[in-house]
Amino acid sequence: MQFTIHLKGNAATMVERSTTHVDLSTDRKVRLGTVLTYAGAIIAFLIGSGFATGQEILQYFTAYGYQGIIGTGLVVAALMTYVVVEFFTVGQTQKFEKPSRIYHYYCGKIGGTFFDYFSVLFVFLSFTVMVAGAGAVFEEHYGMSKYVGGIALAVLAAASVWFGLRNLVDVIGKIGPLIVLIAVGLGAFGILRNPRGIAEGATLLPGLEITQASSNWFMAALSYVGFCMLWLAAFLAAMGKTARSKQEAVAGGVVGALAFSAACIIVALALLANITRVAGTEIPMLVLAKDISPVLASGISVMILSGIYTTAVPLLWTVSSRFFADRSPRFKTSTVALAALGTVIGLALPFSQMVNLVYVINGYVGIALLVLMLVKTGRRIAGRQRL
Burial 135-168 (b: 16+ CB within 10 A, else e): bbbbbbbeeeebeebbbbbbebbbebbbeebeeb
Contacts (Cβ under 8 Å, ≥6 apart) of 244? 3, 24, 27, 31, 34
222 CA to centre of own chain: 15
Q: Indicate yes or no: pTM above 0.75.
A: yes
Query: Which pLDDT score is estimated for 174?
Result: 64
Distance CA(263)–CA(97), nearest Å, equals 34
Q: 289-346, pLDDT tens digit by residue?
A: 888 888 988 988 988 888 788 778 888 988 888 888 878 899 999 999 999 999 999 9
What is the residue-level pLDDT of the chain in tens, covering all 387 positions?
333 333 333 333 333 333 333 333 445 677 888 888 888 888 877 876 678 789 999 999 999 998 889 888 899 999 999 999 999 889 888 888 888 899 999 999 999 999 989 988 998 999 999 999 999 999 988 999 999 999 999 998 998 888 765 554 455 556 667 777 888 888 898 888 888 889 999 999 988 888 899 989 999 999 999 989 887 888 888 888 887 788 888 898 899 899 899 989 999 999 999 999 999 888 998 988 888 888 988 988 988 888 788 778 888 988 888 888 878 899 999 999 999 999 999 999 999 999 999 998 899 999 999 999 999 988 888 876 556
- 147-151 long-range contacts (CB < 8 A, ≥24 apart) are 147/347, 149/305, 150/343, 150/346, 150/347, 151/343
Distance CA(8)–CA(165), nearest Å, equals 8
Longest CA–CA separation in the chain, Å: 66
Portion of the chain with pLDDT greater than 90, in percent? 40
Return the CATH fold of 3-17+34-382. Answer: Amino acid/polyamine transporter I (1.20.1740)
Q: Is there a contact between 43 and 260 (Cβ–Cβ < 8 Å)? A: yes
